[in-house]
Amino acid sequence: MKQPVYLDANASEPVRDSVLSEMVKALQITGNPSSVHAMGRRCYHMIEDAREVVADHFGGDVQNCIFTSGGTEADILAIYGQIQKRPLWIGATEHPAISQVDLPKTILPVTKEGVIDLVFLEQLLQQAETPPLVCLMLANSETGVIHPIEQAAQLCHEYGALLHIDAVQAAGRMKIDLSTIGADSLAISAHKMGGPKGVGALLLAAGNIRGAKYLEPLFIGGGQEQGRRGGTQALPMITGMAEAVRSSYIQDRRIIGELRHLIETAAKQKGAVVCGEGAPRLDNTSCLAFEGIVAQRQLMALDMAGFCVSTGSACSSGKVGKSPVLTAMGLEHLAGYSIRISLPWNITEADAEQFIDAYCRMIVA
């Protein structure tokens, strides 16, 4: 049976060969990182080496890099660990990990291109009685649209607010420096970089004294992660994550952007709309809407043709309906007709050409 062409990298990237190799090595090592004997110390030092790799690549502080079970836990830890008595403000196109948090929320609107409305944000900050905790995605998982995070951070800090960044989709695909961005915390996940599923990290900025010192843990336990995340660390997952970070940032991504452009050009010639096209976007992500063919029908047709694509966040799996992201962008008329093509790190020109052929045949069928 022919292997399907995988174009759903924003749900999860294929695991890199070098990552798998590092994980196998770690799986063969006996010991608990919290044990004081030689085997335990070996595991401990491997975790700390991985922590240094992750912190260095994202401009964080080694002592404030907390390993988690993934991006969702990192987001939740950032919110509940830092919010204290602050109100919670979130962008209108956030991932369910943040949008479904069971706390009162103020929704920050986005422009028609899906970019956070900085004018509205500043007006709201000026009126706020209590400085909020603001949560924004660095890059949207459905459209690839990149928010102007540095400007948002400047505004937040001018008015005493904290800014948490969900960088899960952006990590490994664009340069991220927490100290340059100016955010207070940053969430990342290994499997969006070609690493294993089930491991991520929350990085706290060096200047984030409240978060660094008073972060409330979600899990208590044996004092792991400096008491901020209990539970024995998953050594193979963490070493795999470090290798995914290293590998993703030495990869030449030019071919990925070129192939996305090829796909979008062909789709637009058939009448498709590229949602968020006018904004800065991740080089691998296309949100294509073709009014007249509902998203579920497109997914089924492409799946039968041998292509794995999606309609949005994999954390809403099984739900094929109108996109809340496009609705927030004022594109309600396209919200039920969009699919997401997200190119993996190992995409080939042949994969892209075959997809173009299948997509065009679907449109005229």
CATH number at residue 65: 3.40.640.10
- Which residues of the chain fall below pLDDT 70? 1, 207-214, 312-321, 365
Question: What's the CA gap between 91 and 95, in Å, rounded?
Answer: 9
- Considering the domain architecture, whether residues 258 and 236 belong to the same structural domain is answered as no
The domain that holds 259 is classified in CATH as: 3.90.1150.10
Q: Are residues 171 and 319 in the same domain?
A: no
213 with 300, same domain? Answer: no
Unique residue bearing structure tokens 């008491």? 227
57 shares its domain with 187:
yes
What is the total count of domains within the chain? Answer: 2
Do 261 and 123 share a structural domain?
no
For the question of residue 43 being annotated catalytic, the response is: no
**pTM for the complete prediction?**
0.94
Regarding whether 96 and 237 lie in a shared domain, the answer is yes
Virtual CA dihedral for 66, 71, 73, 75, nearest 10 degrees?
90
Whole domain around residue 305: which residue ranges? 5-14+252-364
Query: Do residues 183 and 276 share a domain?
Result: no
Please identify, among 201, 217, 248, the residue that sits at the C-terminal boundary of a domain. 248
> Same domain, yes or no, for 34 and 96?
yes
Active-site pick, 43, 156, 308, 315: 315
Is residue 174 located within the same domain as residue 143?
yes
269 & 224 share domain: no
CA angle, residues 235, 238, 244, in degrees to nearest 5: 140
